[in-house]
Amino acid sequence: MQIKTERLLLRELVRDDWRSMQKIASDFGKSKYSIYDIPMPAGDVEIAALTKQFADTGAFYAVMLRDVMIGYICFHEDNGNYDLGFCFHSDYQGKGYAFESCAAIMEYIAKERKVKSFTAGTALANKPSRKLLERLGFTLKETDCLSFRKDMEGNDITFEGGIFIKSGNAR
């Protein structure tokens, strides 16, 4: 599967993408928003294994700008419900690439699999992700107190997370 947009190529993630995934994961780890997500490994062996695992699901897509992987998009499917996830290297944020690629892949998934709605989750404090979801047509459905990480003393870092939903066609 390959999708071409005006500026990007979207394709299935493959095992050999691990070095690109490592760069994206390392960059994300430096973000102030990383505390709101599950930690990703940075070591060669660990990120190669995780990339293999992601690639084997068939639910992860590489976002390519020419020959550079600038991010990835994923869908977690559960009984016909498709939950959107994404991560882009900070060098490519704020340029419309995430919107362009997410809109295109959601349109493809909606048509190909006859999906009527999508969900997505993000921390309410993660304003860039919220803005992207809203621009894609998602609305906040509910909130929940979540934790994916611990602080230096071993206490949970809790935050308010939002579950967003998009019904109808993908654009």
User: Domain with 56 in it: what CATH number?
Assistant: 3.40.630.30
- The pLDDT tens digits for 18-30 are 999 999 999 999 9
Residue 30 lies in domain: 2-167
Overall pTM > 0.75: yes
Which of 44, 51, 40, 46 shows the shortest CA–CA distance to 17? 51
Structural domain count of the chain: 1
Q: Which of 3-7, 52-56, 112-116, 133-137 has the lowest mean pLDDT?
A: 112-116
Burial grade of 32 (CB within 10 A; 0-12, 13-18, 19 or more) = exposed
Q: Is the confidence at residue 171, as pLDDT, over 50? A: no
Residue 142 — φ and ψ, nearest 5°? -160, 165
* Helices first, then strands: H and E counts in the chain: 4, 8
